[in-house]
Amino acid sequence: MKRFLIACFVLLVGCAHAPTAVSNPEGLRDKMSMAGQGKARLEIGSESWVFSFDAGFPVPDRWVMAMRIPLQGEEVFAFDGLAEAVPPPPGEGDFRARVVQALRHTSDERKLGYPQAGQDFVRALHRLLALLRPAGRVAMTCREVVADGWSCLHAGQVSRWFWDARKSEARIEFALRGNWRMAAHFKNLTAPVFERVTLEVIRRAEETDHVELRQELFFQTRH
């Protein structure tokens, strides 16, 4: 009897912590979030920033990430007009301008031929935030193109969604120019722990991926 009760207890605990099944991009989207507090790291070429952050949607049409960078102070990374197809220009003091400038410098310094990479990254991130905001989300239609991989259309734009059930990870990709793309990785998506989001600008060359921008967000609490 005692062994039977122990076996039942183990089974119940296992079920309580089992990953939630996900079968389509809408199911993935319901579990993704870009709102919360935590630590982050941003790397662009030879430049890097480590900071704490508090991110969220104060209104449905706006996403703001307040950044606290050691020895530099506070910065703001803001996206207004999420209902619009194209993001408005950055406001005064918006960290977006530094990101755009850093990617332009990397392109010039390494002769990558893509000085507009920063602007295109901002547009792709704007589309991602429009898809994930809690209210007023952009509608999308999807079709499966490979196993656990979908092509989705939203507001005239296309994104590709991938799900890895074994790792409990999802990836969304947006094409930039030529052999460049922006990818958003969501890890620990269905586990009962904090979520990790990684944004990357990727350049494909000679069948190898080169990451030109990586921003890692470690969400420790959720809004």
pLDDT in tens, 119-150: 999 999 999 999 999 998 889 999 999 999 99
Question: What is the predicted pLDDT for the residue at 11?
Answer: 33
Once rounded to an integer, what is the mean pLDDT over residues 206-211?
94
89-123: b (≥16 Cβ within 10 Å) or e: ebeeebbbebbbebbbbbbeeeebebeebbbbbbb
Go through the domains of the chain in sequence order and give each one's CATH number: 22-222 (2.40.128)
Amino acid 72: pLDDT: 86
Residue 190 has pLDDT above 50, yes or no: yes
Q: If we measure between CA atoms, which residue out of 35, 27, 69 comes closest to residue 219?
A: 35
Amino acid at 113: G
For residues 174-200, give the mean pLDDT. 88
| Residues facing residue 51 across a β-bridge | 40
Q: What contacts 24+ positions apart, CB below 8 Å, involve 145-153? A: 150/24, 150/25, 152/25
* DSSP 8-state assignment for residue 83: T
State pTM to two decimals. Answer: 0.87
pLDDT tens column, 67-119: 999 988 999 999 999 998 888 888 778 999 999 999 999 999 999 999 999 99
